[in-house]
Every structure is written in C-alpha cells, then in structure tokens.
Amino acid sequence: MTKTHHTFCRVCEPSCALIAELDENNRLIKLAPDRQHPVSRGFACHKGIHYQAIHQDPDRLNVPMKRSNSKAEAGHFVELDWDQAIADIAHKLQSIRQQYGNDAIAGYIGNPTAFNALGSQAIGSLFTQLGTRRLFNSGTQDCSNKFAGAEAVFGTSTLHPIPDLSRTRYALIFGENPKVSHMSFVSMANPMAQLKNARSNGATIRFINPRRIESATAATGDVLQIKPDTDLYLMAALLHEIDQQVGFDESVLAEHGKHIAGLRAFIAPYSAQSVADVTGLDAALIRQTAIEFARAESACVHMSTGVNMGRQGTLCYWLLQMLSFVTGNLDKPGGNLYGLGFYPAAKAGAMHNLSADSIFFQSEHGELRTIRGALPGNLLADMILRDSNPIRALFIIAGNPLLSMAGEQQLREAFGQLELIIVLDLVRNASAEYADYLLPCTDMLERPDINICGLGMQYQPYVQYTEAVVPPAAERKPEWWILGKLEQAMGLHSLFDGDHQPNPFGRLNRMLRYSDLDIDQLKAAPGQSITLPDNGTGRFYSDWLQTEDKKVDCCPALFKEAIAQAHRLFQELNSEPTNQLKLISLRTNYMQNSWYHNMTELKREQQQENPLHMSPQDAAQRQLTEGQPIRVFNQWGHLQARVKIDDTLRPGTVAMTHGWGNQHSAGLHVAQQYPGINVNQLLPTGPGSFEKLSNQAHMTGINVEVEAYSR
Amino acid sequence: MVIATRQTGTQTHYRTCNLCEASCGLVIEHRNGHILSIKGDAKDPLSEGHICPKGVALQDLQNDPDRLRKPLKKTAHGWQEIGWQQAFDEIGNNLRRIQQQYSKDAVGLYLGNPTAHNHGALLMLAPLIRALHTRSRFSATSCDQLPHMLACKEMFGHFANFPIPDIDRTDYFLCLGANPLASNGSVMTAPNIKTRLQRLQKRGGRFVVLDPRKTESATIADEHHFIRPGTDAVLLLALLHVIFRDHLNSDGVARSYLKNLDQLQQAARQISPPLAAAITGVDQEAIERLAREFARAPRAIAYGRVGVSTSQFSSINAWLIYALNIVTGNLDKAGGLMFTLPAIDLVGLAALAGETGSFDRWRSRVRGLPEFAGELPVATMAEEILTPGHGQIKAMITHAGNPVLSVPNGTLLEQALHQLDYMVSIDIYLNETTKHADIILPPTGPLEHGHYELGLHSVAIRNTVKYSPPLWQPSGNSLHDWQILAHLTAQLESTSLIKTLAAKSRLALIERLTDEGMLDWLIKLGPYGKGLPGVYQLLQWLGKNTLTNALKAKAARSARAVTHRLPALNKALQSSAYGNLTDDSPIPFPKLDLRELKQHPHGVDLGPLHPMLTHRIFTRDKKVDLAPPLFMQDLQRLLANLPLPGAAHELLLIGRRHLRCNNSWMHNSRRLIKGKNRCDLMMSTVDAQRLGLQDGATVTVASATGKVVLPLWVSDDIMPGVVSMPHGWGHHRQGTNLANASRKAGVSMNDITDHKLVDGLTGMAVINGVPVRVQRAPSPATTKQTHATVSP
C-alpha cells in the first residue's frame, strides 16, 4: 500500500508542488510533479525530482558528531548524543564570548535557508541574541546588489517588482537563463512556458547575455550577446537613447520621481554609439532596442545573477528599475509589478534616512556596511586571518563557503585556524571537513514548512503548507530545534523556554493573519495550498514604495562614489586589449551551486568534470582543441582544466560551471569521485573584491588568461 | 706589530677589514696605542683603495667601553668578572653534566656570521664540533646562503664550490634580490663594486636589477624592474622558457660536462611569460626582452643573493640562477661565472678528504626539517629548546651570534633561551642574545688578532691572498677565539682521566702551533704554496685535528680516506695539480708561505679567475646536473602553489640593508648609527594613500607572529604591495650593555618574521615576503607594550 503526500520543492524560487509517494514503512518511493496544483500545474525540474537521491543519500549526516583530531589533518569524527553536543557547543561559545566578545562568533548562512521558513527564523533569533556583527551569507555571492539597489531607489530592500510576462509586449531579460535556473527573484512556475506564452501573444523578448543561452529559441526571443560585466553601460545607453529618441514619461517622473537630473547626468555620456565598443553590441541595435522598448504598449524588465555578480550590480539594478519607471511601465499591466502574496514584505525592509554616513562604518578592512545584516563574504577569511579581533568560532548553516566563495586557499587556511566550527547540514560537504561539530539536519521532506521564499516575488501568488512527508531519520533535527536548544543551553531566550510545547509556527501565523489565514486553514485546504489574489496595480507608489517622500529616487545620493567609479571603469574597459578573455559563470541542469554533486544520477558521462567552455574562435586563436589540457590563470589563482569548444559563447568569453572542487570532500563519496575544479579560485577576494554599496562579490566577467598546459 | 713608520710616533698598519665579505684593504695610522685614522688601502690588489663607513668604525669596536674584556658570570647579584680557568672549568662541568644527564644533543651550538670572517675560529671549530657530538647545531647559514650551497652541492657536487661572477670582464649583469652597493657583495667578494659596475657600463655592458625595491644598486642600473617578493623562481623559469623556446641557449665550454638539459627544458616549459608576468609583476614584454638580451650578450652573469635565498622558493631560485648562467654558455668563461683558486683551497682539500657536504641525513626532532652540512635550520632552534622530550636542547653555546635579533621569531627564541639550563656565549658584547648566557667569554677584538680570509678568498672575483697580523697584541689576559674554542674542546673531551690527559696534550700542541702555524702549513700545501716536506704528517694531523667544517663528523673515516689517497695526492701535489692552473697566470707571484705573505702587507695578486671547470666538478659522474632531482621535485611544490598576487591588501615585508649596518651588530658604534633614524618602514605612495597613512606617521606592522611599531617612510622606490624594514635592530631589550645601540634602539624585524614560514625543501627561513598588516599605531601609551620583552 503506497500513500501520497502533497509537498513542494525547496531548492529554488518556483517552489514547485510535488507529490511524494511513500511505501507502507513511510519510505519515500518517488517524488513527482503535482499535476493538480493550481499554480505549478505539474511543473517540476530535475532538482525536485532528484531530491529523492539527497533524501536517501548514504552520505547523509545522521547523528551529531565531534571532531577528534586537529584541523590540519583529514577530519576524524566521533558520534555523541544531542545533549552532549549542545552542552559542549554552548560551553565553548560562552567561553569564547567571555574571552573575546560577541564578535568573535560568526555565522555563514547558505542559500538553502531561504527555503526554510522555520530555520531562517531560528537563525535570525540566535544571531540577534549573540549580538555579533560577524554575519555572512550567500547573498553577497549572488543577489545582495538587489537589496542595496531596491533600498536606495525604493526605500526598502524587499521591494522587487516582477515582470508581468503574461500581459507584456516587450521583455528585456539581463543575465538570466530561465531554462536552467528557473529564475531568481521571481517565483514563477515553469518560466519557459510563460516566456513562450508571452511570445505567442506577440511580445518581443530579448535576452542580454554573453552566451546564446538555452532559453533563447525561436519560441522565446533572441540574445544580444553582450561583453560580460558591461550591462550597466548598455542600460545607460538604452536610457540615453530612450530619452533622446522617444522621451521619458514626464508625467510619471513628475508625479513619482526625484533626482531625475542626476539620472540624466549619469546617462549623458553613454549614447548607443559610445558604448558600442565596451558592450560589444552594434549601436544601431542598441538604439533600436531602446526605441522598441520605449514605444511598446507595455514593457517589462528583469535581471539576474549574470548582472548581479559583476562589479556594478547595484547600479545595474538601479538602471533596470529606471528603464521600467521612466517609460511608465512600473506598476502597469505588462510592466513590472509588486507581488504582494500573503504578507506585505516590502514594508519589512524599509530603511529611512539612507546616507553614506548612516550606513558605512570604518573597519580594519576599509569602509564597510552590512546588507540585510550581512558583511561581505569576501572578507570572511580576512576577519579570521587578519583582524585584531579575529573571528574564532563560526557557524556554517546549510552552506559551503569553501567552494561557493572566492579564495579557497585562504579560506582553508582561515578555517584551519578557527577554534570552533559548528556545521548544520545534511551532509559533510567540503567546508564541513573543517568542522568541530557536525549537526545533522532534517531535509525538506522531513520538516513542515510554508513557501516563504517567494514572498513578495510571486508571479501567481499562493501560499502552501507542507507537513513533514516522512519523520526525520535517525537523529536528524530541524534547524529551529537545534538552535533553540543551543539558545536555551546558553541562557538565551529560546522557543523551549517555559513549560509549553514550542510553537515554531507562531510568527508565521501572525504574518498569515494579514491575509486572514493561518496554518490550520492551510492544512485543511486541498493540496494544502490556497491561491491569493493576482498581482494588482495601483498601490505601488502609495503603499509599497517605502521612501519617506513616496518618490522613486532616480539618482540616490548614496551612489555618488559608485557613479564616479562607473565612469572610471568605463575608461578602463575601453582601453582593455581586444583579446582579453573574460570568465563568466555557468550553470547546467546537472548541478545546483555547490550541491547536487553527490548523486550518481547526475554524473553522466559528459557531466563528470567541469571543462572550460571556449568559443571556437578563441580556441583557434590559441591553437587549442576540444579536450586539450589547459591552464587558466589570472592574478588571483590558477587551475588546470580541459577545453570544451562551445559556439554559444561570445568570442572573448570563457565559462566554467561552479561548485566543483571536491578532491578533499571525504564525506561525499560520489562527489569526491568526480571532484571537478573549483573555478572560484580565479575570483578576487579580500578588500576591493566586492561592490562597496552592496557587499556583492565580483564573480563574473573576470579577466583570465588561458594557455595550453600539461604537467 | 709595527709594519712601517712614517714619522716618529705615528705608525702605519695595513690589514683587511673583517666586517663584511668585501674584505677591503685598510691603512690604519696609529700612535701610542691610539688609532689616528682608518683609510682605504689603494695598494690592496682586490679593493683598490675602497673603504666604507664600517671599516672606519673598526676603531669604535676597538675602543668601545661596552666591549667585554674578561669572562662574565651571571650570579644572583648580577654579572661578575671571573678568571678564564674558572670559566672553562665551570662550563666544562656544566656541559658534561648536561650531556651525561640528557643526551649529547641536549647541548646546542649556534654560530653567527662573524665566525666566517675569523680564521682562528674556523680552524678550531671542527674539533669543538667533534667533541660536542651533537645534532643540535645551527648557524646563520640557514637564514642566509644555504640555498646557494645546496645548489652547488646538487649541481657541481660540492657544497662550498661557488661559481663566482667575473664581474670585471662581463657584458651583462642581471642582479636579482641583491643590493651590492649596500652589502658590498655577498658570495661575491667584490670591494668597490660600484666602480666595477660603472666600468661594466662604460664598456657598453648592461646592469639590470630586479628587486621589489629600487635599491641603491638599482639607482645606478641601466634598468630596474619591481618584482614581487618570493616570485623569482617563476621569473627565472620564464627567462629559461623564452631562451629554450627561441633556441637561444648555448652550452659553451661546459658542453661535455652537462646533463639533464632536457629536464630543465621541460621545467621551463611549465611557466610561460604571460603567467610569469601575472605572478611576478614584471611586464611580459620585459621578460621576453631580458631573456633575449641575456642569452645574446657575449658574456653575461645572473646573480642573486639574500632576496632570493631567504624566500619561499629559495632552493629553486639558487638552482635556476646557476642554470641560467650555464645554459647561456656563461659557466667557466671569462666574464661569466667562474671558480676561484685561493691560496688555501678549502674546497679542494675537503673534497680530497671525501667531504662534499650533506643534506637531509637526519631531520629535526620537533618539525622534521632536514639537516644541511650537519646543521639544522635556525627556524626551528627555539622549538628544539622549548619542546620537551628526548633530545630537547637544555644548554646552548653561541659563538659571535645574536640570533635573538637575526633569526625568525626572535621573541620566541628569547623565551627559549630564557628557559635553558645553561648557556655559554663567546662574544665581545653583552647583547640581546648573550644576556641569556650563564657565562660570556669575550675573545680579542678584530684588530687584536691576525686576519686571513679563509672563506672569502674562495668567493672573490679575483684570486688574491693577504695576511694581516694583529695591529696590537691584546692585553695579557685575553684569549683569541681559537684559543677559547680549543679550551672548550679540551673541556668537552675530558670525560675520563686518560681522555683528559690526551685533551690537555692536544690543547698544548695547538697552543704551541698557533693559528699562524696552522695557516702557514695550509698555505704551503696550497696551489701557490712552497710545498711541505711533511705532507704526510700534516694530513695525519688534518685527519685528527682537522681544519674544515667538512671534516668534523667523519673525522676518523676521513683521515683514513686521506691516508689511502696519499700516494695519488703526493703525486698530484708534487707534480702540482694546480700547476696548469697557476702557471699560466699573467702575474708572476712568489711561492708562498706565511712569512712570504707577511712581506706583502697589501696582499698578493694571484690574477683574474681562470677557467678550471674540470677541477671543480665533484659529482660522481663528473657532470654538472642541470636538473637535480631534489629541485625537480620541489618544482612541483611551486607549480601547485604558484605565488600569484591574490588580494592586493596583503602587504609583503622584505628586509633592507644599509651600508652602515652589519646585520645585528655594529649598532653600538656611534659613528655608524648617528644621523637620521634608519629603522623605518618603507611603503609605496599607493599603499600609503590606500591606508590613509602619511610619511613620518608611526605605524604598527603586524604579522602572524607579532607586531612592531616604527615610523613610516613613504616612497615610490618600493613596489606597491611591498613594505621594507631593516633587520638587526631592536636594542631596547633590558639587560644588555650596549649604550649607544640602546639609545637608538629601533625595532627588530625578526619580532614579526615567522619561524614557521620556511622554504619547503630545506627549512631555510623565509625573511623576505612575510605577509603583514600595517596600520596607524594606536597611541604612544600602548606602543610601549610592544616593546615588552622577557628578561632573565
């Protein structure tokens, strides 16, 4: 007798509904897309379907473990019970805090916690109470520029208008490959279907990407193959040409905008003609795109990691919003809309009186800010190795900083020197090899949840609850339980305080109440899902915009330094040698950042290593052939790889998939067998390697050299 | 000892300066026991009248009231002067006791750099080492020239067989990590180097400097490039890469003696010029051009010194520098790298005795660092003292060394010395190291004993020989280094009644022979010598009592070996094995012995260096190995850890030498330390602006080891990303007796160098390229704390 459970995927933004099939022993038999779900309607991708392999991975952590040898050696771990583990860790943390202060304890929070409503709450609670400023998260590797940009332009880090694809006549999509990533900062089921649908409704879709991405087909749209990390100048030129050729929507500007002169001053030098060389795009094409966009009945914009991870993601996000705003497409059907969902998260990130003086502070590592609480990940190693009050204890929660950030060698040195590393994860990943304590967590099938991640970014708003599909195996515990117990042991406020059963859903219930919902209603609903009203228009400027004067800031004063830098960088790019190779990052359907590497199913013959993708022209110029061993290097690092000729790349651009480099990951048997190469070794790290406005690391459009090489 | 009299009362004395490797001839005028002047000796065949401020300051050393004149003993009531015999007896009792109680290795030995400039000490070290029979031996070698020695051993088969730049006849001098204008040359005795380099330029040659700092030498060079510290090996590989790629290599006269050229080519292929440019910071175009220019120059020399030998790939550097010279046909060629033939041919004699150096015969107890020439790396000396267990060092003997200031992590060493059971120092000062001793034995000063450059004639750019007798006989109660060492040896040998008697008779013999007697024999036996009828007896004596560092551990076996080879040796010497090398010298010279030498107070010119490669290859197969396996293996370490610049905020600290400094000593000479403070941190304008620091600001320099506070000197003469400070300062420590030095104390660079940072192959200290952070010093009150030291 099998039974089925409704649940949903918590790997990436769409949060696709799934049906879990269990046997009579409550063992998972399979995961399948939920065809009945009102929104995802039977869409799910390899990540959700293959989650079964993660759930049943023999390498999963099952019991708390403690390191029994020095970090200089390969980790040797012994089991201990939860009480002992919690007591040990609490004691060590207390003594480090007492001796060195709160800032001696740090946290690195990985991306999967964004898909974990209870876990993320618990993390917030613990670190707030620990009083440390040393918080890092994966956001500074892929999206913190959006927080900074929205904060400066809209007065809140949590307002991210999403493209209204179903009604649009024109869409510009920068640095995003929906077919593989399924979009980010938009929670949209089956984005390819939405794009095709838009196209068949007559919309023009243009992708902007150095690669002829899989998403760009006759059924969707074409690609402007831009030079990496030059999107800012294309956006500026689009605005410049719109202003010159079509004109801004002056009534919208007058009513809802401010500092428009600043915007115009910034874009003034960047005509289509003047950016043609730097962006590598034909001036006429840029001009045409600008005119088409501005004249379209409705037009929407979106950008993602390909732009975020460059050097000027915040300014790009600013200009992206400007493209929408100055053409009157913001808060307009077919334009960009706020996706309210069950709770107005846009208000939660409101920040008033933004100024350089109020957000930046002096540090040993230069002038810094935090972005939604996070310091630059690229300073983590520095704050361990080169700080007068160094980090001594580090929580790594659902993260793998060693392979997902720049500076692997330095991080290894830094982790090797930490007094205490506490890892909360499903597996012992590359970073966890340095752990002092390994705490086994429940996976998404073992814990209840709601689809919190898409809040404020849902294309078709709905809220879904899932029970734990199966009970946690072995000694695995949810993060909220582990951190709550730890808080209790440290004498901090904890869910476990008092005699009553802890109710981790309390806060979520309070949020749901905004939509007159609660968890019990969700539980009772069919498929535990309740659809919410469609994203409306008309409330953006009055309700969701959070600037004090309710004006969109078209040129935030905070950007002054970044704007000057942008003009300098333009000159720099202009004088670069024409044959300078630029490395961009790449994702395939066989990976998800640094995870999904431990499953045989995804290590098919062509997916067992990560070669350097190179255009046929670049290969020919260097007399390189398919499969040839090469060395890739720049001032930051060097690696050896093989050439993969890839005609989808713009010449001058090379690409490698990231998240590899599991040579030393003894806790991941499959991944270690196909270790691949950590491309992040080629990325800059330390002061100056991230965008000062947002802490976003510079991770794409990296100058590299490639040469034939074999030892 | 009166050599010449110019006018009544005023006397003139000629000698060689012992302070640095340049070995300049001096003219000292003195009257009634007072030095009137010290000047350069224009008639010295090597130094041509050159002198630097240090030579003039020899009189300060002679007259220094802080100089110790009698043995000092540490007591509960402070230091007390004691008699020599009491000192030797107490030392003997304590050292014997400790060796009996723990192990032979429980007594350690550290030899400072000045030992190498003291023939008496050099002659008597071997017996002392044999009597000590300890593996706990250290010297300044492992924070100085060890990599060059290892390269000589691996490539030419003999660790002391240095090929020397024939700078007077070359057309191209490529200088890496060396600043001969400040150092006066090293492993290249080349006094008056500035003039020699200018002569090179006048005859149309090029002088090119690669250095992270625009050094004094770089300012007169035709071309200077900044190079990132620790990346020289990569640059050298790229130069070789271009040379091989463009087929610019030529074997020259060494052709039939070379092996493993293909392996060297394979190694050079690993580093392309673009990669080298990214790593070193030197333009790709410059790398290509320098390689071509060097290879095409008729006569060219590549030379590297402390900058390359105290960095993270120092062994590879030393190897590749020699290799670059060799594959461009510049070995054993006038104007290239040549071998010397000194009047006392230590290299040849040691080789005859079967001693050509050793590496990695054993490893250090605590960190497993390899032995070299019987010594362990200084980088591990403190650990060997501090780490309990069998073989822990409980007592130390130091000779003419101040390792607290001159080896990495001096603070740790201070702690270590402080906890020793017993320590003996042979030194003329109560300094930062000797203050930890239980007894200090002060030898005579440099003007009070004879001087013969036993070691440096072997590395000079011209074959010359000179003996300087003492200027003054020391006061009655003084002992020379060789006498002190001989006494200590006798003490250590006196473990039983019979052995005590034997030791005493050997001591008596040595005292009767004297250092001059020993020198006389060795000169007579040498290539220019008068010959010695009693060769056999001498060799027996050598075998037993020995003269070179080389003979120590295997003395008995060596003696046998020498005896067995005697027929051949006798024949060789009698038919003058050196004959074909010396007879064609353009300069006639007398057959030498010490008496003859004394007739030539300015020294004897033995002519320019001669081709003599066949006599200077000591490898078993008589081939020069261009790709020794040790280095090829270490190359893999380099390739796996290419020293790319990475984060620009990481400042790399390098050292800096000043003409008026001589490592950690000579700072008590007022005339040398007067004027502007020299102990400051040099930083590029770019870095200073980035860090918001102004010239003259007081800054804290912190490393993984510790921190120091010193003034900042902002200058464009240093590469961005690099900072530089001199070493040997830090005389603020309590308990020393160095009045002038402690008034201008400075801070010690070695308080922030890291003993854990070593060349992976040899354990050689990394002193250049230490990662540091620099920031404005908090406030004068807190900076005081950084000066706190451990006092005894």
* pLDDT at A6 (0 to 100): 97
- CA nearest neighbour of A281 among A328, A359, A223: A223
Q: Quote the CA–CA distance of A337 and A203 in Å, as a whole number.
A: 17
Instruction: Name the amino acid, one letter, at A632.
Output: V
Q: Which residues of A touch B649 (CB under 8 A)?
A: 365, 382, 686-688
Q: B566 and B498, same structural domain? A: yes
Cα A495 to Cα A92, A117, A483, A507, A511: the distances in Å are 21, 15, 9, 11, 18
CA distance B701 to chain A (A): 12
Contacts of residue A685 in chain B, CB cutoff 8 Å?
A: 646-647
Rounded distance between C-alpha atoms, residue A161 and residue B631, angstroms? 61
Angle at A554 between CA A309 and CA A564, to 5 degrees: 60
The tokens for B56 are 């003039």
| Whether the predicted pLDDT of A679 surpasses 90 | yes
HSE value, Cβ hemisphere, 13 Å, CA-based, for A587: 22
Q: What is the pLDDT of residue A590?
A: 86
Domain membership of residue B647 (yes or no) is: no
Token pair 């060394």 is found at B401
Strand (E) or helix (H) holding B173: strand B172-176
Cβ pair A707:B773 closer than 8 A? no
**Chain A residues with beta carbon closer than 8 angstroms to that of B645:** 635-636
Q: Which residues of chain A make contact with B274, given a CB cutoff of 8 A?
A: 705, 707
Chain B nearest-CA distance from A683, in A, is 9
pLDDT band at A329 (very low <50, low <70, confident <90, very high): very high
In a domain, B634, yes or no: yes
Query: Could you tell me which chain B residue has the CA closest to the CA of A386?
Result: B773
Query: And the tokens for B538?
Result: 């001498």
B152 lies in a domain?
A: no
Mean pLDDT calculated for residue range B208-214: 98
Tell me the average pLDDT across A113-124. 95
Task: Name B753's bridge partners.
Answer: none
For B499-553, the pLDDT digits (tens) are 999 999 999 999 999 999 999 989 988 888 887 665 545 555 554 554 444 444 4
The span from the CA of B601 to the CA of B580, in Å, is 27
Q: Is residue B644 part of a domain?
A: no
**pLDDT confidence of residue B411:** 97
User: Is B278 within 8 Å of A410 when comparing Cβ atoms?
Assistant: no
pLDDT tens-digit profile of B609-645? 999 998 899 999 999 999 999 999 999 999 999 999 9
Q: What domains are there in chain A, each with its CATH number? A: 3-55 (3.30.200.210), 65-142+352-531 (3.40.50.740), 161-337+549-560 (3.40.228.10), 577-708 (2.40.40.20)
Q: Tally Cβ neighbours within 10 Å of residue B427.
A: 25
CATH number at residue B723: 2.40.40.20
Phi, psi at B100, each rounded to 5°: -70, -40
Same structural domain for residues B178 and B120?
no
The answer on pLDDT for A675 being more than 80 is: yes
Whether residues B236 and B317 fall in one domain:
yes
Q: Do B647 and A364 touch (CB under 8 A)?
A: no
**In this structure, is residue B155 part of a structural domain?**
no
Express as a percent the part of chain B with pLDDT over 70.
Answer: 90
pLDDT at residue A691 is higher than 50: yes
Does A689 sit within 8 Å of B644, measured CB to CB?
no
Looking at the structure, tell me whether residues B187 and B102 fall in a common domain. no
CA distance B660 to B669: 10
Given CA atoms A380, A386, A388, A390 in this order, what sign does their dihedral have? positive
Q: What residue in A sits closest to B691 (Cα-Cα)?
A: A366
The predicted pLDDT at position B587 comes to: 56
Q: Residue B213 has what pLDDT?
A: 98
Calculate how close chain B gets to A634, using CA atoms only, in Å. Answer: 6
Q: Does A681 touch chain B (CB under 8 A)?
A: no
Residue recorded with tokens 């806790």: A667
The answer to whether residues B719 and B650 touch, using CB atoms and an 8 Å cutoff, is no
The pLDDT tens digits for A139-167 are: 999 999 999 999 999 999 999 999 999 99
Compute the average pLDDT of residues A214-227.
97
Q: Which residue of B has its CA nearest to A687?
A: B649
- What is the C-alpha to C-alpha distance for residues A114 and A265, in angstroms, rounded to an integer? 38
Q: How much of chain A, in percent, has pLDDT values that exceed 70?
A: 100
Chain A residues with CB under 8 Å of B642 CB are: 633, 638
Identify from B282, B773, B776, B785 which residue to disrupt to test chain A contact, counting A C-beta atoms within 10 A and taking the largest count.
B773
Q: What is the pLDDT of residue B607?
A: 93
Distances (CA, A) of B20 to A20, A461, B185, B451: 82, 82, 9, 13
Burial class from Cβ neighbours inside 10 Å (0-12, 13-18, 19+) for residue B636 reads exposed
Please give the Cα distance from A141 to A680 (Å, whole number).
11
Collapse the DSSP code of B303 into the 3-class scheme (helix H, G, I; strand E, B; otherwise coil) and give the result: strand
Q: Which of B272, B280, B367 to mutate to test the interface with A (most CBs of A within 10 A)?
A: B272
Distance linking the first and last C-alpha atoms of chain A? 58
Query: Does residue B605 share a domain with residue B503?
Result: yes
Choose, out of B241, B269, B644, the residue to mutate when testing the contact with A (most A CBs < 10 Å): B644
B353 confidence band (pLDDT: 50, 70, 90): confident
Identify any residues that bridge with A586 across adjacent strands, giving them in sequence order: A657
Q: What pLDDT shows up at residue B787? A: 42
ipTM confidence: 0.86
Helix residue ranges per DSSP H, B641-761: 670-673, 685-691, 739-743
Residue A72 in contact with partner chain B when CB distance is under 8 A: no
* Contact list, B650 vs chain A (CB under 8 Å): 386, 686
Distance (Å, whole) CA A351 – CA B500: 89
* HSE-CB of B786 using CA atoms within 13 angstroms: 25
Residue B249 structure tokens: 């290599």
Count of the separate structural domains present in chain B: 4
Contact B644 A636 (CB under 8 A): yes
| CB pairs A-B closer than 8 Å | 55
Judgement on whether residues B189 and B259 belong to the same structural domain of the protein: yes
| Cβ neighbours for B585, distance < 8 A, ≥ 6 positions apart | B606, B607, B610
pLDDT in tens, B695-729: 999 999 999 899 999 999 999 999 999 999 999 99
Q: Determine the distance from the C-alpha atom of residue B477 to the mean position of all C-alpha atoms in its chain, rounded to a whole number.
A: 31
CA distance A410 to chain B (A): 10
- 3-state class of B754 per DSSP? coil
Residues of A in Cβ contact (< 8 Å) with B646: 407, 410, 635-637, 685-686
Residues from chain A that touch B702, judged by Cβ atoms under 8 A, are 388
Beta pairing class for B337-338 and B164-165: antiparallel
Q: Are A178 and A318 in contact (CB under 8 A)?
A: no
The H-or-E segment that residue B780 falls in is helix B780-783
Q: Which domain holds residue B356?
A: 72-144+344-613
pLDDT digits (tens, 9 = 90+) for B248-280: 999 888 889 999 999 999 999 999 999 999 999
pLDDT at A500: 86
Q: B391 — contact with chain A (CB < 8 Å)? A: no
Q: Which two tokens stand for residue A143?
A: 């999206």
Torsion of CA A606, A610, A612, A613, to 10 degrees: 50
Residue that is last in its domain, among B63, B88, B105: B63
Q: Which phi and psi angles does A460 have, rounded to 5°?
A: -125, 95
CATH number for the domain harbouring residue B293: 3.40.228.10
Both structure tokens of A189:
């089921």
How many angstroms separate the CA of residue B646 from the nearest CA in chain A? Answer: 4
- At residue B332, what are phi and psi to the nearest 5 degrees? 60, 30
User: What is d(CA A233, CA A155) in angstroms, rounded to the nearest whole number?
Assistant: 24
From chain A residues 390-419, the ones with a CB under 8 A of any chain B CB are: 407, 410
Do B332 and B362 share a structural domain?
Answer: no
Beta strands in B185-311 (DSSP E): 206-210, 223-225, 258-259, 300-304
Angle at B248 between CA B245 and CA B249, to 5 degrees: 100
- Asked if B78 and B46 sit in the same domain, the reply is no
- Give B772→chain A minimum CA distance, Å: 9
Alpha-carbon gap: A406 to the closest alpha carbon of chain B (Å) = 11
Structure tokens at A709: 């090489």
Residue B475 lies in a domain: yes
Question: Is B773 in CB contact (< 8 Å) with chain A?
Answer: yes
Rg (CA), chain A: 25
Cβ–Cβ gap B275/A705 under 8 Å? yes
- CATH at B389: 3.40.50.740
pLDDT at residue B395, as a whole number: 98
- Separation CA A86–CA A91 (nearest Å): 8
Secondary structure class of A141 (helix, strand, coil): helix
CB-nearest partner of A638 from B642, B650, B773 = B642
Give, in order, the Cα–Cα distances in Å from B35 to each of B27, B58, B365. 11, 10, 49
Identify the CA nearest to B354 among candidates B184, B573, B541, B565.
B565
Note whether A687 contacts B275, CB cutoff 8 Å: no
pLDDT (0 to 100) of residue A593: 85
Cβ atoms within 10 Å of A711's Cβ, excluding its own: 11
Instruction: Output the pLDDT for position A589.
Output: 86
Residue B474 has pLDDT above 90, yes or no: no
Tens-digit pLDDT profile for residues B121-142: 999 999 999 999 999 999 999 9
**Average pLDDT score, chain A:** 96
Give yes or no for a contact between B15 and B468, defined as CB atoms under 8 angstroms apart. yes
Report the sign of the C-alpha dihedral through residues B237, B240, B245, B251, in that order: negative
Contact between B275 and A684 using a beta-carbon 8 Å cutoff = no
pLDDT at B575: 41
Residues B408 and B444 reside in one and the same domain = yes
A633 touches chain B (CB under 8 A): yes
Nearest CA in chain A to B272: A707
Chain center to CA of B299: 27
A18: nearest Cα among A54, A43, A38: A43
The CA R_g of chain B, rounded to the nearest whole Å, is 25
Q: Where are the alpha helices (DSSP H) in A101-175?
A: 117-130, 139-142, 144-154
Distance CA B17, CA B11 (A): 18
Question: Does any CB of chain B come closer than 8 Å to the CB of residue A626?
Answer: no
**B792 within a domain of the structure (yes/no):** no
Q: Is the pLDDT of residue B558 over 70?
A: no
Residue B780 has pLDDT above 80, yes or no: no
Q: Give the count of alpha carbons within 13 A of A171, CB side only.
A: 30
What is the pLDDT averaged over residues A250-279?
98
Please tell me whether residues B104 and B211 are part of one structural domain: no
Chain B residues with CB under 8 Å of A677 CB are none
**For residue B524, is it left (φ>0), alpha (ψ between -120 and 50) or beta?**
alpha
- Alpha carbons B659 and A670: distance in angstroms, whole number: 61
In a domain, B151, yes or no: no
A686 to B775: CB separation less than 8 angstroms, yes or no: no
Burial (Cβ within 10 Å: 0-12, 13-18, ≥19) of residue B34: exposed
Contact B642 A633 (CB under 8 A): yes
pLDDT (0 to 100) of residue B582: 56
CB contact under 8 A, B646 and A635: yes
On whether both B23 and B112 belong to a single domain, the answer is: no
Residue B8 has a pLDDT of 64
Share of chain A above pLDDT 90, in %: 93
CA distance B44 to B50: 9
Same domain, B329 and B441: no
